[in-house]
Copies of this chain bind each other. A is one copy, B any other.
Amino acid sequence: MGQADNLRFMKRFRVKTLISMDPQEDPVLCKGWVRTKRDSKNVVFFEVNDGSSMKNLQVILDKDKEILSEQMLQRLNNGSSVEVEGMLVESPGKNQKVELHCSALTIHGDADPETYPMQKKRHSFEYLREIAHLRPRTNTFGAVARVRNTMSRAVHDFFQENGFLWVHTPIITASDAEGAGEMFQVTTLDLDGLAKADGAKMSGGIDYSRDFFGKPSFLTVSGQLNAEIYASAMDRVYTFGPTFRAENSNTSRHLAEFWMIEPEIAFCDLEANMDWSEAFLKHILATVLKESRDDMEFFDLRIQKGIIQQLEQVVESDFTRISYSDAVSQLEKSGRNFEYPVSWGADLQSEHEKFLTEEIFKGPVIVTDYPKEIKAFYMRLNDDEKTVRGMDVLVPRLGEIIGGSQREERLDVLSRRLGESGLTEKDYWWYLDLRRFGSVPHSGFGLGFERLIQYVTGMQNIRDVIPFPRASKTAEF
């Protein structure tokens, strides 16, 4: 595309294309932002980036040519936006294959070095979070944006190629039965009015008939239950969308708004679910290693040494599969002195997960069949009546990256488990209906997209792998 461009001007190429092209007979056009400028006696060197690539296009401007007035030279700065025409020729330098010999230059927008918040020096990630509207112009955040896009595309490609439908499950939900404490409420009531006087007040509290949805409503924490509806008709579906958690934890690992991926698969038991999760993870990693190679080399060099090799190992490995009970035994007999003691019935801590993947099995591990008390009501109960068909996929360096389960498809068992979990059948009538009419064995898993990006890039703070992070007291931009 860009047909209009090419009809009205000479052929414009993105930087990514230009830097890997052979020298051209006809002049070419490049548009982007200046990253560096070096002014020598007879020529000006500058580099242009347009976000398509980690690498810049080197441009050489001969001062004799009078293309460049002194005023324009002053305006040609880090951050200014330009259109450059010229011949793409072989570069004598060893850092690039080709360079552009500029024959015409347009400066669209200035970036005054005195006031431009992005200086040449390296800025801290903390500082860049305060100027999140400019940070995509840095190498790191450009690379994060491209890798995030490559991974997003890989998510869709994996599921689409395997016959899954993307289902847009709702963001606003009136079901607060699960994890109510950690949900954001959504309302059109006038809060100031509520605080002041009469408003929508009633003796018992709020009169929700005056709220938009006629009842308390919240931001979703998961699309799973809705996805199960579609899996019960379309067989294979997945969600990929924003989810919300009102956790007040101000850590480098939590966001209030994050993107989740949740496939749900009919006629699928836990074994097949493990196959799918393993194939999914390997597909994402293999795709990003192949398609975002330059960016991954940057992360390997600057952010997390050896990360490419680590991810390659995961792609090539067979994931170990072990029951929770066996995992606990292995941890107990390891003789390791853990901060949190290991005992059957307690959830695995991060240190245990790391020990399993890094020390015992030296690779990814899928732990299955957890005690029912520490897992959700919808996981399928095993015949021992003590454990459920849940699974966690653990990887070295990170710990848990995927959680999933075979779902309870038996109406009577599910009803019982609802009750044991303090939930009511009334709130779950439609979820129970799926077991009442044409119920099938089915399974699914879920993962937080930002945690996956952290794992792939090595970025330490989750706020740096999403364009505009939302967290406690943080909703800028």
Smallest CB separation, A190 vs chain B (Å): 9
The residue of chain B having its C-beta at the shortest distance from the C-beta of A274 within the complex is B4
- Which residues 172-204 of A sit at the B interface, judged by CB distance below 8 A? 172-174, 184-189, 191-192, 194-196, 199-202
In the assembled complex, the Cα of A55 lies from the Cα of B470 at a distance in Å of 45
Query: Is A254 an interface residue when CB atoms closer than 8 A count as contact?
Result: no
Q: Interface-forming stretch among A335-343, A363-371, A390-398, A428-436?
A: A428-436
29 interchain pairs, CB-CB under 8 A: A1-B276, A3-B275, A32-B235, A51-B234, A51-B236, A52-B235, A108-B441, A109-B435, A109-B439, A110-B439, A111-B437, A132-B229, A133-B430, A142-B233, A145-B165, A145-B167, A145-B230, A149-B160, A149-B165, A149-B166, A167-B467, A172-B244, A173-B475, A174-B475, A174-B476, A185-B191, A195-B200, A214-B473, A242-B242
Provide the A23-52 mask, 1 if CB < 8 A to any CB of B, else 0.
000000001111000000000000000111
Contact B467 A230 (CB under 8 A): yes
Instruction: Classify chain A: how many residues form its interface, as a range.
Output: 35 or more
Binding site for B on A (CB under 8 A): 1-5, 8, 14, 16, 31-34, 50-52, 79-81, 83, 108-112, 115-118, 132-134, 136-137, 142, 145-146, 148-149, 152-153, 156, 160, 162-163, 165-174, 184-189, 191-192, 194-196, 199-202, 205-206, 212-215, 217, 219, 226, 229-230, 232-236, 241-242, 244, 246, 248, 256-257, 259, 266-267, 271-272, 274-276, 279, 409, 430-431, 433-441, 466-468, 470, 472-477
Given the known A-B contacts A1-B275, A409-B109, A440-B81, are A168 and B466 also in contact in the complex, defined by CB atoms under 8 Å? yes
The residue of chain B having its C-beta at the shortest distance from the C-beta of A243 within the complex is B171
The residue of chain B having its C-beta at the shortest distance from the C-beta of A200 within the complex is B195
Contact B212 A205 (CB under 8 A): no
Q: Which of B80, B241, B256 contacts A172 (CB 8 A)?
A: B256
Q: Which of B153, B169, B188, B272 contacts A160 (CB 8 A)?
A: B153
**In the assembled complex, which residues on chain B have CB atoms less than 8 Å from the CB atom of A438?**
33-34, 79-81, 108-111, 137
In the assembled complex, the Cα of A226 lies from the Cα of B476 at a distance in Å of 11
**In the assembled complex, which residues on chain B have CB atoms less than 8 Å from the CB atom of A233?**
33, 51, 134, 136-137, 142, 145
In the assembled complex, the Cα of A79 lies from the Cα of B440 at a distance in Å of 11
The residue of chain B having its C-beta at the shortest distance from the C-beta of A196 within the complex is B205
The 8 A-B pairs of least Cβ separation, nearest first, read A51-B234, A109-B439, A136-B233, A192-B205, A133-B430, A4-B272, A174-B475, A213-B475
Contact B212 A256 (CB under 8 A): yes
Q: Which of B109, B271, B434 contacts A437 (CB 8 A)?
A: B109
Contact A188 B191 (CB under 8 A): no
**In the assembled complex, which residues on chain B have CB atoms less than 8 Å from the CB atom of A189?**
185, 191
Contact B257 A171 (CB under 8 A): yes
**In the assembled complex, which residues on chain B have CB atoms less than 8 Å from the CB atom of A5?**
272
Q: Which of B133, B142, B186, B274 contacts A186 (CB 8 A)?
A: B186
In the assembled complex, the Cα of A233 lies from the Cα of B477 at a distance in Å of 16
Q: Which of B165, B184, B476 contacts A51 (CB 8 A)?
A: B165
**In the assembled complex, which residues on chain B have CB atoms less than 8 Å from the CB atom of A206?**
191-192, 195
Contact B195 A31 (CB under 8 A): no
In the assembled complex, the Cα of A441 lies from the Cα of B56 at a distance in Å of 21
**In the assembled complex, which residues on chain B have CB atoms less than 8 Å from the CB atom of A275?**
1-4
